[in-house]
Amino acid sequence: MTGAAGGLGKAIADGLADCGATVYGTSRDSVSAGRVSDRYGTPCLPVDLADTGSIGAFVSSLWSASGGIDLLVNNAGVNVPKPALDLTDADWDSVFDTNLRGSFFLSTEVARHWTGSGSQGSIVNIASQAGIVGIEERAAYGASKAGLIHLTRILALEWASAGIRVNAVAPTFVRTELTASTLGRQDWADELLSRIPAGRFGEPEDVAGAVAFLLTGAASMITGHTLVVDGGYTIR
């Protein structure tokens, strides 16, 4: 899985490891990738998904080293929370290069190995409620996650006959170190919380459970679906 070093990614990776999966987790830099390697006892995998030219060689190398890949979680993500009028070209590109472009090319490379070897597999894309409803200061992020949700449907449609399932999980605001600055603004946190009927923000384990479910045989008839883990935020 991508983006496995901390916060939401770490919780998802831990959940999969608890289910018996061997977790090969990536991170953008070698230091955090080393922590992932130490945690799960698998190779150190520093990968920058924005560098799509390197993805093919990375997947081929990992496939050979691991003896094959069964599951893929596209969790790595970038957010630049700014008002739309303040977003630059560089901001937009940094968000889309990882959230959508990188996830697409990683998925297609893994799927190419599955179809080439006659294997089946399952992919879960970590999207966001921001890809379903409008949220302030999330123009690039929300657009990238909306694209990822629709990409999930298209890949599921194209690859279903090959036995490859593709789904997504769309969380609400989840308490992690990455959201601490947002949720630490009390007025903003109170406003966001007022939009969640369940009356609380998400915890990483809420998302990890949804991802694990979609990857298992219990979800064998589910593909092209986005499971929204939002406490009811998107109901209205």
Q: Given pLDDT bands bounded at 50, 70 and 90, which one contains residue 180?
A: confident
Is the pLDDT reported for residue 69 higher than 80? Answer: yes
* Whether 24 is catalytic: no
List 170's β-bridge partners, or say none.
228
Distance CA 50, CA 98 (A): 5
Does residue 66 lie within any of the structural domains? Answer: yes
Length of the chain: 236
Give the total number of structural domains in the chain: 1
Q: Would the pTM count as exceeding 0.85?
A: yes
Distance of CA 176 to the CA centre of its chain: 15
Is the pLDDT reported for residue 178 higher than 80? Answer: no
CA distances from 21 to 15, 67, 110, 218 (A): 9, 14, 17, 15
Asked if residue 125 lies in contact with residue 147, where contact means CB atoms within 8 angstroms, the answer is no
Does residue 156 lie within any of the structural domains? Answer: yes
Asked if residue 58 lies in contact with residue 51, where contact means CB atoms within 8 angstroms, the answer is no
Does residue 1 lie within any of the structural domains? Answer: no
Does residue 108 lie within any of the structural domains? Answer: yes
Give the CATH number of the domain where residue 56 resides. Answer: 3.40.50.720
Distance CA 46, CA 178 (A): 19
Q: What's the pLDDT at 44? A: 96
Q: Given pLDDT bands bounded at 50, 70 and 90, which one contains residue 118?
A: very high
Does residue 106 lie within any of the structural domains? Answer: yes
- Per the structure, the complete domain to which residue 61 belongs is given by 7-235
Q: What percent of the chain shows pLDDT beyond 70?
A: 100
Query: Which residue is catalytic, options 24, 40, 141, 233?
Result: 141
Does residue 2 lie within any of the structural domains? Answer: no
Distance CA 174, CA 157 (A): 30
List 202's β-bridge partners, or say none.
174
